[in-house]
Structure 1
Amino acid sequence: MTTTTGQRLDIAKLAPEVYKAMIALDAAARKGLEPTLVELVLTRASQLNHCAWCLDMHTRDARKVGVTEQKLYLLNAWEEARGMYSDRERAALALTEAVTVLTDGFVPDEVYSEAAGEFSEEELAQLISVIFTINAWNRIAVTTRKAPPVRD
């Protein structure tokens, strides 16, 4: 049933155990990674998945943890923005794209190796967890048509 706001349904209310598990998964996935890196990954995956709700939330959260406006504005073209993103951020963004856009095939060995060169095994496990968690959140929000609030 569509509500007056256009949202189809509210997962938090209708599947509270699933929602609570997602919240716990999200918190666990972020552990050990820099908040700025996490927010860049969350924002980039949300761009790829066309998730307005998550883009609104994560661009605001990114600013709060210190991601610059310039990095946010150029995120959609991060590969061309040489010098803007660290090698570690670039490796995380490449892995984010490969994991998010699986229709292009499997995650390429080159992309995985690049990330493995920038992150410890524990960090890489956490990064992969952040990526699959945001993809799940994006799919929830897009499927239920959760829209961000209009702000002036």
Structure 2
Amino acid sequence: MTTTQQVKPASRINFAKAAPKAFRALIGFDAAARDGLDPALVELIQIRSSQLNHCAYCLHMHTNDARKAGESEDRLHMTQVWHEAPHFFTEKERAALALTEAVTLIADGGVPDEVYAQAAAHFEEQELAQVLALIFTINTWNRLALATGKVAGTDER
């Protein structure tokens, strides 16, 4: 085989069909996590986690969902570099993005107390729990998409 030949990816399971109870439970957890949260914040969290996890499938889906919900192109482009673009995001959104990074990259040192405290300063306890649940679900969706070979730009959801 030459280096210009492409290797066809191995066929992967359809998780929704192979483990329907687990898939439905994840859908239920995702729906419960979103309950009461600002839809724009939901998409920002999902976009940032998907960027960090290198999940093109979820990133494509959530940037499109954010656009459909009215999110600006500027903010979508700046999500990757939100630390350097403070005027694009509210303090509350910045706290959520910092928490998203800490939880998504938890193996890099856990969730620092200052990151958690900043999030707790901007979210009531119940809302903070919802944000954490959302971060947990998008990380699970990212891992599911990557492990099962989901391809960005397909109609498969």
Matched, 1:17 2:21: yes
> Which residue identity does 1:136 align to in structure 2?
T
Alignment match, 2:4: none
Indicate if the aligned counterparts of 1:39 and 1:59 stay in contact, CA closer than 8 A.
Answer: yes
Alignment match, 2:138: 134
Displacement after TM superposition at 1:134 (Å): 0.4
Percent pairwise identity: 55
Go from structure 1 to structure 2 and tell me whether the alpha carbon gap of 1:133 and 1:69 turns closer, same or farther (over 3 Å shift): same
Distance in 1 between the 2:43 and 2:78 partners?
A: 14
Matched, 1:120 2:93: no
Question: How many residues are aligned here?
Answer: 148
> Which residue identity does 1:112 align to in structure 2?
Y
What are the within-5 Å matches in structure 2 for residues 104-119 of structure 1?
104-119=108-123
Alignment match, 2:3: none
Alignment match, 1:43: 47
Matched, 1:83 2:69: no
Displacement after TM superposition at 1:6 (Å): 5.4
Indicate if the aligned counterparts of 1:37 and 1:89 stay in contact, CA closer than 8 A.
Answer: yes
Q: Give the SS at the match of 1:32.
A: coil
Identify the match of residue 101 of structure 1 among 83, 92, 105: 105
Distance in 1 between the 2:153 and 2:137 partners?
A: 23
TM-score (norm 2): 0.90
RMSD over equivalenced CA pairs, Å: 1.5
Q: Deviations over 1:89-124 (max 9, x none)?
A: 000000000000012111000000000000000100
More off after superposition, 139-148 vs 121-130: 139-148
Distance in 2 between the 1:100 and 1:94 partners?
A: 10
Distance in 1 between the 2:96 and 2:17 partners?
A: 33
Q: Deviations over 1:5-41 (max 9, x none)?
A: 7551110011111111111111000011100000000
Give 5+ residue unaligned stretches, structure 1.
none
TM-score (norm 1): 0.93
